Copies of this chain bind each other. A is one copy, B any other.
Amino acid sequence: MKYYYNLLSQPSRALYIFLKLNNIPVEYKDVNLLNGDHLTDEFREINRFQKVPCIVDDDGWKLAESIAILRYLMSKYKNIPDHFYPSEIRARAAVDEYLEWQHLNTRLGCAIYFQIKKKIGPFAAISENPNEGALPIFKFLMESTLEAIETLWLRGKKFLCSDEISFADIIAACEIEQPRMTGYDIFENRPKLKEWYERVRAATNPHYDEAHVIVNKIIARSQKAKL
């Protein structure tokens, strides 16, 4: 199986960590997004949506969308620890609840805030008037999301969906790195978020830090710029 990814993409990093952590036998294919290698006719044959991450299985069967890929891997490889995506129906539903919720909350809030602030990607044009219109709305959405993780998702649990780590935690941690790259301190006044984040890193390292080498350089630079 071939895994197409780039470590600048949050869901690419989440699946990369998951694949490494579980020793899933894939061929890693880094797609240079900054060069536009995902926008070529050649790559359109690999993923009709021209995005990463995506997979091509040994017989040529293709799949896009990180969470759809996670579910496929859980069905295909029977030796992956169950807690990453539980088989018991209510435990699974609890993980599904976060995996659905995050798209228009964690992902939308953190990713679009990042794009507007950094003037990168399809929502960069919003940044023309950064103090009016859309930016405050997306900042509010991002902060509401971080508050919901702090006060609702992490209430009485070590991880987002139970006391054990699941794919929900990995994908959430990778998403909240985005605003950190703009110099925004996501952990200020959010002690549970910070403790949970360190728990996710500890449970997935050295792969978590390996997937975030470039991201961490950008975070360090943005913190230096603020001093």
**With A125-B137, A128-B133, A137-B125 known to touch, is A96 a contact of B75 (CB < 8 Å)?**
no
- A119-152 residues with Cβ-Cβ distance < 8 A to B are 122-123, 125-126, 128-129, 132-134, 136-137, 141, 148, 152
Stretch of A34-42, A57-65, A201-209 at the chain-chain interface: A57-65
Q: Are A65 and B152 in contact (CB under 8 A)?
A: no
Is A68 an interface position by the 8 A CB rule? Answer: yes
Is A97 an interface position by the 8 A CB rule? Answer: yes
Q: Are A129 and B123 in contact (CB under 8 A)?
A: no
Q: Are A68 and B48 in contact (CB under 8 A)?
A: no
Residue of B nearest to A116 (CB): B134
Residue of B nearest to A71 (CB): B96
Residue of B nearest to A89 (CB): B75
Q: Are A100 and B66 in contact (CB under 8 A)?
A: yes
- A90-117 residues with Cβ-Cβ distance < 8 A to B are 90, 92-94, 96-97, 99-101, 103-104, 107-108
Give the CA-CA distance A91 to B103 in the complex, in Å. Answer: 23
Residues of B within 8 A of A90 (CB): 61, 72
